[in-house]
Copies of this chain bind each other. A is one copy, B any other.
Amino acid sequence: MSKWVYSFGADSCDGDASMRNLLGGKGANLAEMSSIGLPVPPGFTITTEVCTYYYDHANSYPERLRDEVSTALKNIETETGRLFGDAKNPLLLSVRSGARASMPGMMDTVLNLGLNDKTAAGMATATGDARFVYDSYRRFIQMYGDVVMDVDHGLFEDLLDDLKMAEGVFQDTDLSAAALQTLTESYKQLVLEESGEAFPQDPMEQLWGAVGAVFASWMNNRAITYRKLNDIPAAWGTAVNIQAMVFGNMGNDCATGVAFTRNPSNGENLFYGEFLVNAQGEDVVAGIRTPLPLTTRARIDGGVDGKSLEEEMPEVFAQLDGVRTRLENHYGDMQDLEFTVEKNKLYMLQTRAGKRTAEAALKIAVDMAAEGLISQEQAVARIDPASLDQLLHPTLDPNAERVCLARGLPASPGAASGKIALTADQAEARAASGEQVILVRVETSPEDIHGMHAAAGILTARGGMTSHAAVVARGMGRACVSGAGDVRIDLKSGSVHIGETQLKDGDIITIDGSVGEIYNGEIDKIQPQLSGSFETVMGWADKFRRMRVRTNAETPADARTAREFGAEGIGLCRTEHMFFDEDRIVPMRQMIMAVEESGRKQALDILLPMQKRDFAELFSIMAGLPVTIRLLDPPLHEFLPHSDEELAEVAKATGVSVELARQRALRLKESNPMLGHRGCRLAITYPEICAMQARAIFEAAVEVAASGPAPIPEIMVPLAGTAKEIEICRDIIDSAAAEVFAESGQKIDYLVGTMVELPRAAICADQLGEAAEFFSFGTNDLTQTALGISRDDAANFMHAYEEQGIYHTDPFVSIDVEGVGELVKMGVEGGRKARADIKLGICGEHGGDPKSIHFCETVALDYVSCSPFRVPIARLAAAQAALAKKD
């Protein structure tokens, strides 16, 4: 037989923190606090199961609920020494929602419940503060009328305004007790007129009305939308917390405040909080009066006038400080508290894990582990890996005001401000004269590299997360927002429309590449800092994780950054990105556009020594660590010449007419380049390209091995759908290896594997595994193909898809476990079936996403690979995944 009601308070306490699902977060913590003897106003919680029952049974309650509520109510009466509805010393109650997951402000609350004409009069006498009582009463009628009886909130405000006019006062607080009492009469009249029912005078009727309203609010539109957005099942339901009211506003021996047990901003182990004497909770938040610091030290450090709580109410403070220690020891985490002091007596109203900055999270975790409050495992598990981004890039000051002009894709993290430059040359010139610049382009191409380098940030109107702009910006560590469709550029007039705003060349904008937003003007930023705590936590993470962490890198700068962040090799070197430089783009284009093998060979001869230098440098930086090199997989449309000038250049290099070059470029244009002549299809049709790259890899490897640790090249065949494609490429690669080894008299170990990025490859993995020594899951393309969604084109509908709960998170951010994840699983199983010791990794953008990394651990991949700045995130997430799996 279910128990529907759980009491808490000094005398009786049935619940605890572990019963969050049943009691909701607020109820469970109230029970927990009272069970460890902290001063909590007594109350009880109606469980979430009642909510579920309520919706399953045509909005009715279980049979025994009323009895259980009556019993629990009696407990409160006993403990407080007040009676509910008593005319002399009435018990007042708060009725609050409290779901399993926090849903701030989404559901309804009723305070001061229990007041009626009779109890108000009695209470006025008892407290001697009629103004306070009638103000509470009129607030209660207003709240109850609005929440329970569906009377428009504004109508109460109108009556209040009328009264103030009549009384000739401006502030609510200037109204007299008598005036407020009159107002309660008008309010009751209003309720009757609007709802057709009298405002209930019976406190029990009030109570059940409020409980019903809280349950009903679980299904209001706000709550439904919030749950959709936050992936909270409707079936969870909400609990209802009914608790004795305490008042921080009954005189100068009263106060109310909020506190963090440690500094949530930097993690320092100092009590941190604010309070107001003779005030209600809302007053602290509302900002009408300025709250004062809790501790004297904080007051002095902040140069604040007035008294701290420590000075004002030393005994209460000492008690609160004790609660602080008690709660930290008990929960083993930094807490966010709410308290009220009623006539010098401290009451705890809430505790929960406190939100904190990344910096604070690291320091608190390390400190608490040092203090023995938590284990190193717990410390590692507690840090949100995604929050580390804050530590690695400048972020916008959360308190700074901002006007968002438009949104694009969060292509490269960090925030940057600067003057708009519409061309790369302009960006370079501006930067040279010491200005901060944001380069704004329809899309970027290799010709823009110098401008991108000079700019603090890059904004493009077109292109996805893997566009030229995005990839280059991530490599350079520049902030980038790409594919912002609402950006329209008019080069002639030098003007830019961003959303509804017209700007011009030289105007200042700010972009936040972590979220993809564009703002007007300059916005304050917080610069990143890496503390000792960061290194400590990373060290612990490395101890606990099973999966290796590599990086996606092709430039020496990226590779070095990644090494500094702890990368254990390169998991993806995209060789086509090595050709974005201006001096290489011409032979690259020449190669792509060549009709005959001879033309391609000519271009390849120019490219070979460049590739060899590239690889040699990467091998040296990675000093003996594995380096996965993907064979050329060019996004043709990014490499094709666009302008007449570019065409002329390529035509000249190739020795053909511009017209012929144009024809050829036109022929190479594809309807769906994502699904076109790319990946190993290039190596199959033009084996000489594969041969050149293989030769460059082996020549470089042999050279580097001669003077240092031998590199371990892992050569990756992209976009294979069949074993045969890998076999054909492997033959070419093995031949090149044999040649180079014969020429140099030196051998090195290498692997040939493939990128599993097509559904067919995953499905036929048992065949592909026969031909490949490793699989690297390319989950970007796998997501595009499995879901049939082009990342570059998703902007037009993905927002609606998330909003309507079709995909809860963007599947390009976190791996779609049911669809794409299933393919990865098939790939893993097939691969291991074919080759028990096959090496398995992931190199899509998901390799740096904590949720996806957890998935990778469940299928036991050997490593994840991600962009350099996400390496620490991946190390931490991999450790958490390993710890979670162990549990």
Interface residues of A (CB under 8 A from B): 464, 485, 488, 637, 663, 667, 670-677, 679, 681, 684-685, 719, 721-722, 724-725, 728, 757-760, 763-764, 767, 781, 784-790, 792-793, 796-797, 800-801, 804-807, 816, 818-820, 822-823
7 sample A-B contacts, Cβ–Cβ < 8 Å, listed by A number: A672-B674, A674-B790, A675-B784, A681-B801, A763-B823, A764-B822, A781-B788
- New A-B contacts (11) at CB < 8 Å, excluding given A485-B667, A760-B786: A671-B674, A672-B673, A672-B675, A677-B796, A677-B797, A721-B819, A759-B759, A759-B785, A760-B819, A767-B818, A785-B786
- The complex places the Cα of A229 from the Cα of B663 at a distance, in Å, of 32
A136 to chain B, nearest CB (A): 46
Query: Which residue of chain B has its CB nearest to the CB of A786?
Result: B759
A788 to B816, CA, bound (A): 18
Complex CA gap A804/B673 in Å reads: 23
Asked whether A672 lies within 8 Å of B793 as measured between CB atoms, the reply is yes
CA distance A816 to B800 in the complex (A): 34
Q: State the oligomeric state as a number of copies.
A: 2
Q: List B contacts of A784 (CB < 8 A).
A: 675
Report the bound CA distance from A677 to B663 in whole Å.
30
Nearest CB on B from A791, distance (A): 9
Q: For the complex formed, measure the closest distance between the CB of A178 and the CB atoms of chain B, giving whole angstroms.
A: 55
Contact A488 B663 (CB under 8 A): yes
Q: How far is the CA of A763 from the CA of B788 in the complex (A)?
A: 13
Assess whether B673 is in contact with A805, with CB atoms less than 8 Å apart: no
CA distance A485 to B764 in the complex (A): 32
Tell whether A805 pairs with B724 under 8 Å between CB atoms, given A719-B788, A785-B786, A819-B763. Answer: yes
7 closest Cβ contacts across the A-B interface?
A: A675-B790, A760-B819, A672-B790, A759-B759, A676-B793, A671-B792, A758-B788
CB of A795 to closest CB in B, whole Å: 9
Q: Is the CB of B672 within 8 A of A763?
A: no
- With beta carbons under 8 angstroms apart, the residue of B674, B677, B804 that contacts A728 is B804
A725 CB, min distance to chain B CBs, angstroms: 6
Which B residues touch A719, using CB under 8 A?
788
Rounded to whole angstroms, the CA-CA distance of A639 and B192 in the bound complex is 60
Docked CA distance A167–B868 (Å): 86
Which residues from B are CB-within-8-Å of A816?
760
Given A663-B488, A806-B684, A819-B721, A671:B764 Cβ within 8 A = no
Find the B residue at minimum CB distance from A722: B806
Picked from B672, B685, B728, B796, the residue with its CB within 8 Å of the CB of A672 is B672
A760 to B789, CA, bound (A): 11
Q: Which residues of B contact A801 (CB under 8 A)?
A: 681, 684
Measured between beta carbons, the chain B residues less than 8 angstroms from A685 are 796-797, 800
> Are A788 and B785 in contact, with the CB atoms below 8 A?
yes
CB of A675 within 8 A of CB of B759, answer no
Q: Given the complex, which residues of B lie within 8 Å of A485, measured CB to CB?
A: 667
Q: Which residues of B contact A806 (CB under 8 A)?
A: 684, 722, 724-725, 728
A637 to B788, CA, bound (A): 17
Q: Given A677-B796, A684-B804, does the pair A822, B788 have CB atoms closer than 8 Å?
A: no
Complex Cα gap A757–B800 (Å): 21
Distance in angstroms between the alpha carbons of A672 and B670 in the assembled complex: 9
